[in-house]
Amino acid sequence: MKRFLSVFIARNKEFIRDRAALGWSLIFPILVIFGFAFSLSDHSQSLFKVGLSDLSLLNNNFTQLKYIDFVPNSNLENMISMLKRHQLDMVIAPESKSLQKYWINSTSPKGYLLEKILKGVEQPTLRYQKQIVSGNEIRYVDWLISGLLGMNLMFSALFGVGYNIVRYRKNGVLKRLKATPLTAFEFLLAQIASRLILIICVSSMIYLGCHWYIHFQMLGSYFNLFIVLCLGAICMISLSLLVASRISSEELAGGLLNIISWPMMFLSGVWFSLEGAHPAVKKLALLFPLTHIIDASRAIMTEGAGLEKISGNLITLGCMTVLFLGTSSIIFKWK
């Protein structure tokens, strides 16, 4: 424990004394959130999104119209839930060959316009039966905050830990530590604990400060969100340790970390939803820890999901953490 605490305290002091890195980790996500909040939150987008429970519905006149994005999804309950949150503007499901039900949100102006369009193209042999749901709109900034927190967590974990370990190895710091009784597992565990506390503190300040100004919707439990944040941060730190376990070149480390972080940033749902994307892209996204972090935190914040609903994401993050940390401990090189 003495050896662990010594490395833990030293790493904390090193980060706090680097004022440029500390300031940037606080300012950057706040600037991005405010920019998106003011530029996009109050402006309606021209694209309609309609959920379809049956692909055969794509053959009728309504589904042939332009400028409407039709999203096939066999889970009707899930689509209605998305409709309540204004993530879909209308949901259509077949009742019989001559009758199809459609759902709209009573508070959605897009749903009102789509209903008028639907009535205008109604076929003589096919009737539509109206169903109404209600729910509060999820603003884009409410949807975005979980992605930005996850992105900040990713960059802080990958570059704040992995890059520093490579620098330690290059400068001979790890070589000196090898002469002490400190083991590789103790050293890596201290790096995880140090960065975990800093990530939690920084992310909490960012969330509370932005929530005070923009007033995000938070439908779930803060405790559940805290669990996702901690497990996600540990997983990301373990991934950075795996990358940096044997590398001695800062340039190579930076390149590998960028190769890992940029695909995650674009394919994990930080900026836009993967709903309606190619199935291969969705499967690829499931390989990234950031996808599970964002999906779980977004479900808690915008849907009020409990731990049972996000258990799949938590189990995946736990398995990834064990794999990354175990492998990095085995292949870790001091020199």
Query: What domains, with CATH codes, occur in the chain?
Result: 2-39+139-331 (no CATH), 48-133 (3.40.190)
Helix/strand/coil (H/E/C) assignment for every residue in the chain: CHHHHHHHHHHHHHHHHCHHHHHHHHHHHHHHHHHHHHHHCCCCCCCEEEEECCHHHHHCCHHHCCCEEEEECCCHHHHHHHHHCCCCCEEEEECCCCEEEEEEECCCHHHHHHHHHHHHCCCCCCEEEEEEECCCCCCHHHHHHHHHHHHHHHHHHHHHHHHHHHHHHHHCHHHHHHCCCCCHHHHHHHHHHHHHHHHHHHHHHHHHHHHHHHCCCCCCCHHHHHHHHHHHHHHHHHHHHHHHCCCCCHHHHHHHHHHHHHHHHHHCCCCCCCCCCCHHHHHHHCCCHHHHHHHHHHHHHHHCCCCCCCHHHHHHHHHHHHHHHHHHHHHCCCC
Over residues 222-244, the mean pLDDT reads 88
Locate 286 and state its tokens. 């499931």
Question: Looking at per-residue confidence, does 226 or 64 come out higher?
Answer: 226
Residue 282 confidence (pLDDT): 80
- What does pLDDT average to over the chain? 78
What is d(CA 320, CA 327) in angstroms, rounded to the nearest whole number? Answer: 11
Worst-scoring range by mean pLDDT, 207-216, 227-236, 263-272, 319-328?
207-216
Over residues 289-312, the mean pLDDT reads 86
Residue 26 confidence (pLDDT): 67
- Cβ atoms within 10 Å of 36's Cβ, excluding its own: 17
- Cβ atoms within 10 Å of 79's Cβ, excluding its own: 24
Over residues 87-107, the mean pLDDT reads 80
Question: Looking at per-residue confidence, does 35 or 89 come out higher?
Answer: 89
**Tell me: the pLDDT tens digits for 131-188?**
777 666 566 667 777 887 888 888 888 887 777 788 878 888 878 888 888 777 788 8
Residue 44 confidence (pLDDT): 46
Percentage of residues of the chain with pLDDT beyond 70? 84
Residue 98 confidence (pLDDT): 72
Residue 43 confidence (pLDDT): 47
